[in-house]
Amino acid sequence: MMDHQEQTRAAYDGVVELYASMFADGLESHPFSRNMIATFAELVRETGNLRVADVGCGPGHLTAMLHDLGLDVLGLDLSPGMVDHARQAHPALRFDEARMEALPVEDGALGGVLSHYSMIHTPPGELPELLTEQVRVLAPGGLLLVSFFATEEPQPIRFDHKVTPAYSWPADRFADLLTEAGLVPFARLLHDPASERGFLDAHLLARLG
């Protein structure tokens, strides 16, 4: 039986062109996400460390957005198909294949990490390991912006995502995990995407103290 990472890699490799076409307009139809990412980029620029990783970059649309916002950005993704697409779509930018729990970045190197719905396929018991890895690569004062599906239930909920199974999280529980990893959550945005699943969209901003 494939583990969940192999399943996730295979699932996204199978939908590269469809997935990329869904985000061809960047975030033009997602104003909340767009503005949270712009805020993240502004705060990273204020740290003076412009190095950022877009973890789970998919077809590279947000990597390109971060570049346009003045950051020195590296796109990383589990799916080789997504990485190949991103390299072709954005040849001036750097993209590498990587697992989220083993980022090819030196300790304390980055001013920021963007994790835009890229942790949603991780089983709850494995999420702390991923957050520890994001903390490892952040410089003191570095920022993490993580976006995910949120539920008002007290526990994470597994659901059938259109690509491969995923999890929604209570926002408070996720914020607690950030704190336990050594981060200081300082801003959050929850909004209703009018999803048929009934989940909220959640964005948490945290800083490494």
Q: What confidence score (pLDDT) does residue 17 get?
A: 80
List the structure tokens of 108.
């304390």
Q: Are 186 and 205 in contact (CB under 8 A)?
A: yes
Domain span holding position 108:
4-208
Q: What confidence score (pLDDT) does residue 185 get?
A: 98
List the structure tokens of 177.
């995990």
CATH number of 58's domain = 3.40.50.150
Which residues lie below 8 Å from residue 206, measured CB to CB, with a gap of 6+?
143, 144, 146, 175, 178, 183, 184, 185, 186
Q: What confidence score (pLDDT) does residue 2 get?
A: 43
Q: What confidence score (pLDDT) does residue 197 get?
A: 66
28: helix, strand or coil = coil
Q: What confidence score (pLDDT) does residue 96 get?
A: 97
Q: What confidence score (pLDDT) does residue 28 get?
A: 78
Domain count, the chain: 1
Amino acid letter for position 98: A
Which residues pair with residue 55 across a beta bridge? Answer: 76
List the structure tokens of 158.
């597994």
Q: What confidence score (pLDDT) does residue 196 get?
A: 63
pTM to 2 decimal places: 0.92
Rounded distance between C-alpha atoms, residue 159 and residue 162, angstroms: 9
Q: Are 123 and 100 in contact (CB under 8 A)?
A: no
The closest of 138, 62, 69 to 103, measured between CA atoms, is: 138
Q: Per-10-residue mean pLDDT for the chain, 209 residues long?
A: 68 73 75 95 98 96 97 96 94 96 97 96 93 97 97 90 85 98 97 73 96
Q: What confidence score (pLDDT) does residue 27 get?
A: 80
Q: What count of other Cβ atoms lies within 10 Å of the Cβ of residue 92?
A: 6
